Amino acid sequence: MGQSLLEVKDLTIRFGGIAALAGVDLTVEEGELVALIGPNGAGKTTLFNCLCGIYRPDRGEMRFAGHDLRGLRPDAIARLGISRTFQNIELFRNMTALDNILLARHIHMRVGFWDAALATSRWWREEVRHRARAEEILDFLDLQAARHRRVADLPIGQQKLVELGRALALEPKLLLLDEPSSGMTAEEKEDLVFRIKDILEELGITIVLVEHDLKLVMGIAQRVIVLDHGQVIAEGTPAEVQQHPDVIRAYLGEESLS
Amino acid sequence: MELRERYEEDLALVLGLPAWLGLLVALAVLVLFPLLAPRYLVYIVTLMAIHILVAIGLNLLTGYTGQISLGHAGFVAIGAYTAGLLMVRVGVPFPFAFLLSGFSAAFFGFLLGLPVLRLTGPYLTIATLGFGIAVHQVLTNWEGLSGGRMGLFIPKPSIGPWTLASEAALYYLAVGTTGVLTWIAYNLVRSHIGRAFVAIRDSDVAAEVMGVNLMVYKTLAFGLSAFYAGVAGALQGHLLGYIEPQMFTLFESIYYFSMIVVGGLGTIPGSILGAVLMTILPQVLSGLREWLPIVYGGTIIFIMAVEPWGLYGRWLRIKWWLKTWPF
């Protein structure tokens, strides 16, 4: 069996007396779109925060493309090729949409301090090269009109897209999307489904999707993993998971089964 | 609105013939100024240039990177004393002492940046405040090093055979240095380095997840900011010919802070505007010296409440209003 892109084994993290993650095992294969669902407080965002290096897990293993993620700083993990969006938008509020996206080109910048300070021709070339790349992303997400606007002034749906664009600008191998559709209108959600499919198929980026809109999840996910109380309670195709008694119990309560 | 067709045009600092002409006229005025103006005014503009340096440095740290410093007088002092002591005690020629004044302040800025990496908000402010006070206390009490309250007489700078003794010569030195360092600051803030600074200010978590090394960029912001302050300190020593610890107190730190708040946080034109206004203000209010701290404090509070983007922000809005008038 070949190596998986992401392997998580026995991942555990406690906050005080509460185990936010209690021995999570999961793998993500290259080119897959895996949805991560579960009730509020199940540990979905905590898992993302561990993978990004924001939280340090107490126990367990995380391997990404052959690298051990434990103990790495978030910026080192970004360099390995993991990018993400945030549940509650974490944009650079006072920057333009363009600058937000350009910021994520940071790890691809091939110029140093002195090139920037003295505005050498090398710096100009590099800056223009990344600007062209950022424009491609703005085109891809239909954000051209927002290019020079301060992101805090954009509607929530567009802010979500800018955040998606920023995550793509990093050119990740693995993209972690934390509730990308929350706050979007029905039409924006529809567009989002096509964009996520394009990211997967055209850009070839593996995606892990945390999402509360189950209709959206069931439409695009190839595999669904269900978390509850920090544990994986079910895993399978969308159809399998929907029938799983533990999942129904977690979402709807004990009585709903009888 | 003018249409831009190439990405380079978005990056240019000066774009179009009118802007270039304006820049040329401004440079010509700056060059001719000491030949035509009275000595007192030349002195004031030299002081402005020095204050602009401190304000730009402080704004890189506070306005751009979001790390409030109330200890910048400490860095100015380190620059002034480094240049002064190297020239007086060690006999280092001026150009080297001048350069080292910036780098020694930057070194201390870097050192201060390391422990305060974990501090944010009011805790960081208190740490920088403590730093400023500590520098003042060390300079006051370590008389063997600094000359203590007696102060230190600073020789006129000389480059090779030329001594920069006149007001005009010091003016060209200060304005030239400030011009070059302002250009460098403009370059940095429009590059990936400036974007990393602003990203840290707006969301340090997102900045880190997007690949910005917080330790590198926070300490860089501290070091860079201190470099500007240190160079300004050396220039101030040469301008006054004398330094003593009382010139670098908490009051001066707040004075520098008020410049960037008044002019506009996170902008370079704002730093320049604020420094110019806050240099003129004490001259105008020279009869009210003891009221100055209240004037500075009151101004900071007033601007924060009424126009958080400072005078430059207000100017941008007026410009926008005129552009779009009558809609």
Q: What is the pLDDT of residues B114-141, one digit of tens each?
A: 887 788 788 899 999 999 999 999 999 9
**Does domain A1-81+172-258 correspond to CATH entry 3.10.110.10?**
no
The answer to whether the CB of A10 falls within 8 A of the CB of A24 is yes
* Residue B274 maps to a domain: no
Q: Is residue B265 in some structural domain?
A: no
Q: Cβ contact (<8 Å) for B203 and A111?
A: no
Closest residue to B211, CB basis, from A106, A111, A132: A106
- Token code pair at residue B62: 């506070």
Q: Would residue B177 count as lying in a domain?
A: yes
CB contacts < 8 A, A to B, total 106
Helix axes B121-141, B94-113, angle to 10 degrees: 140
Among A54, A92, A106, the residue with its CB nearest the CB of B203 is A92
> Per residue in B50-78, pLDDT tens?
999 999 999 999 999 999 999 999 999 99
The pLDDT confidence band at residue B299, using thresholds 50, 70 and 90, is confident
Residue type present at position A166: R
ipTM of the complex: 0.92
Provide the total of helices (H) and of strands (E) in chain B, helices listed first. Answer: 15, 4
3-state class (DSSP) for residue A22: strand
Distance CA A176, CA B43 (A): 59
Q: Is the dihedral of CA A234, A237, A242, A245 positive or negative?
A: negative
Which H or E element spans position B13? none
For A171, list phi and psi in degrees, rounded to 5.
Answer: 55, 60
The residues in A 48-107 lying below 8 A from B, measured between CB atoms, are 52-54, 73-75, 77-79, 83-84, 86, 90-95, 99, 102-107
Which amino acid, A40?
N
CA B202 to chain centre: 22
Which residue does chain B place closest to A170, by CA atoms? B210
What is the average pLDDT across A143-152? 93
Q: B207 to chain A: which residues are within 8 Å by CB?
A: 92, 103
What residues of chain B have any CB closer than 8 angstroms to a CB in chain A? Answer: 7-8, 10-11, 184, 187-188, 191-193, 195-196, 198-199, 201-203, 205-214, 220, 266
Interchain CB distance below 8 Å, A128 and B11: yes
Cβ contact, residue pair B188, A124, below 8 Å: no
Query: Model confidence at A1, in pLDDT bands (50, 70, 90)?
Result: very low
Q: How many domains does chain B have?
A: 1
In a domain, B85, yes or no: yes
Q: How far apart are CA B51 and CA B318, in angstroms?
A: 26
The pLDDT tens digits for A182-239 are: 888 999 999 999 999 999 999 999 999 999 888 888 889 999 999 999 999 999 998 8
DSSP label of A27: E
User: In this complex, which of B195, B203, B214 lies closest to A102 when CB atoms are compared?
Assistant: B195
Which residues of chain B neighbour A75 with C-beta distances below 8 Å?
208-209, 211-214
Q: Mutation test of the interface with chain B: which of A69, A79, A89, A127, choosing the one with the most B Cβ atoms within 10 A?
A: A127
A160 in contact with chain B, both atoms CB, cutoff 8 A:
no
Q: Does A116 sit within 8 Å of B191, measured CB to CB? A: yes
Best residue in B1, B210, B218, B228 to probe A by mutation, most A CBs within 10 Å? Answer: B210
Report the pLDDT averaged over residues A89-118.
94
Answer whether residue B210 is part of any domain.
yes
Q: Which domain holds residue B160?
A: 39-249
For B63, nearest residue in chain A (alpha carbons): A94
Of B99-103, B153-157, B298-302, where does the model show the most confidence? B99-103
Q: Among positive and negative, which fits the CA dihedral B212, B218, B219, B223?
A: positive
Omega prior to A245 cis, within 30 of 0: no
Which tokens is A200 given? 């997967």
Query: Full-prediction pTM beyond 0.95?
Result: no
Give the distance from residue B124's alpha carbon to the nearest chain A alpha carbon, in angstroms: 21
CA angle A180, A185, A188 (to 5 degrees): 65
Specify if B293 maps to a domain: no
Burial letters for A174-212: b for 16+ Cβ neighbours within 10 Å, e otherwise?
bbbbbbbbbebeeebbeebbebbeebbeeeebbbbbbbe
Question: Residue B324, exposed/middle/buried by CB under 10 A (0-12, 13-18, 19+)?
Answer: exposed
Domain borders along chain A are 1-81+172-258, 93-171
Question: Quick one: DSSP state of residue A54?
Answer: S
Cα gap A15→A23, rounded to integer Å: 14
